[in-house]
Amino acid sequence: MSIHLAITIAALAAVGFQIGTIFQKKAAVRLPKLVFPISGRTLWAFLTDFMWIGSFGFKVVCWIGLLVALANAPVSIIEPIMGLGLAVLALFAWLFLKERLSAGDWAGIFVVIVGLVLLGVSTEKTEVRGLESVSYTWLAIICTALLSLVAVARIVAKRRPGRMNLEVILGLASGVMTGVAILLTRVMLLGLKAQHYLMFGILLALVIGINLSSVFTSQAGFQRGRAIVVMAMLSVVNKVIVVLGGFFILGEALPEDPVKGTLRIVALVMLLGGTAFLARFSGGQLEQAES
């Protein structure tokens, strides 16, 4: 599969993720409050809610599309593309729901689209690397440190709820877990290609567990705070982790052509910046879904 086809699949998955998230928010607000550790009764309520489980299933399909893209292109290219979903969501609301977009919303849409075009222009056929480029030591150290930070933040937020901004903590935690899961997913798929099946099985279990924790953490954030804040933290933090992790942990590099290398940097900055703009719009949409 070509890198450009992988980019197209990732873009479609990005749009689907946003659609699924809107419906998940609408369902989550009427379900029991999530408290960690999650009780069996609360978990059953989520798993038997038609809208929540249906939107979750739709997002799983999008996740499979993302896996296909990650298997055929560097993670530092694929993950920033997920910001396109926010741009499409804003355009959909403007065209079909007749919502007014602010100057910041339009700027975010423009920046994301231009960034996506520049990303496509800067790609080279030789960018996909194998397991030999992965720094396992740094992967284990950084992923463990990030997940430990999430655990500590949760404990502090639980013990001192009045002194912690819970919506920020939950959004940050969900973003960190999503970013770590994507990095591990890339290594998992490289292991599968290299026929390291034990590595694949171990990482698959970790990825599933981390992703499920991220999902329920974001749902708890939607229930306890402003979705506009949760989405902003989640959308930006996970992309920063993945882009930096792709370069410094997975051994992904910029194109050798200096022009394409410069375009890649500009594209990544534009995609991350556009995502930051549009995350506020997406959060507003989620908050409207509550009603």
Cβ pair 176, 221 in contact under 8 A: no
Number of Cβ within a 10 Å radius of residue 134: 19
Question: Which sequence spans correspond to the domains of the chain?
Answer: 3-289
pLDDT reading at 98 higher than 80:
no
Number of Cβ within a 10 Å radius of residue 3: 21
Instruction: Please tell me the predicted confidence (pLDDT) of residue 40.
Output: 80
Q: What's this model's pTM, rounded to 2 decimal places? A: 0.74
Name which of 2, 11, 247, 260 is nearest 121 in CA terms.
260
- Is 290 in a helix, a strand, or coil? coil
pLDDT reading at 101 higher than 80:
no
Per-residue pLDDT reduced to its tens digit, 140-181: 888 888 888 777 776 766 665 554 567 777 788 888 888 899
Number of Cβ within a 10 Å radius of residue 182: 24
pLDDT reading at 282 higher than 60:
no
Per-residue pLDDT reduced to its tens digit, 21-71: 777 777 777 788 776 667 788 888 888 888 888 988 998 899 889 888 888
CA distances from 71 to 168, 217, 220 (A): 32, 27, 31
Instruction: Please tell me the predicted confidence (pLDDT) of residue 95.
Output: 72
Q: Read off the pLDDT band of 202 (50, 70, 90).
A: very high
Q: Read off the pLDDT band of 204 (50, 70, 90).
A: very high
pLDDT reading at 288 higher than 70:
no
| CA 183 to centroid of chain Cα atoms | 11
Instruction: Please tell me the predicted confidence (pLDDT) of residue 205.
Output: 93
Q: What is the mean pLDDT of residues 98-125?
A: 80
Between 99 and 65, whose confidence is greater?
Answer: 65
Q: What is the mean pLDDT of residues 10-15?
A: 87
* Distance separating alpha carbons of residues 73 and 56, to the nearest angstrom: 25
- Is 155 in a helix, a strand, or coil? helix
Per-residue pLDDT reduced to its tens digit, 253-266: 778 888 888 988 89
* Distance separating alpha carbons of residues 109 and 90, to the nearest angstrom: 8
* Distance separating alpha carbons of residues 82 and 76, to the nearest angstrom: 11
Per-residue pLDDT reduced to its tens digit, 205-251: 999 998 888 887 877 777 766 666 677 777 788 888 888 888 888 88
Between 80 and 280, whose confidence is greater?
Answer: 80
State the DSSP string of 63-82: HHHHHHHHTTS-HHHHHHHT
Q: What is the mean pLDDT of residues 94-101?
A: 69
* Average pLDDT value over all residues in the chain: 80
Between 7 and 282, whose confidence is greater?
Answer: 7
Name which of 41, 109, 108, 116 is nearest 77 in CA terms.
116
Peptide bond into 37 cis (omega under 30): yes
b/e sequence 22-59, b meaning 16+ C-beta within 10 Å: bbbbbbbbebeebeeeeeeebeeebeebeebeebbebb
| CA 102 to centroid of chain Cα atoms | 24
Sign for the CA dihedral angle at 163, 225, 86, 243 comes to: positive
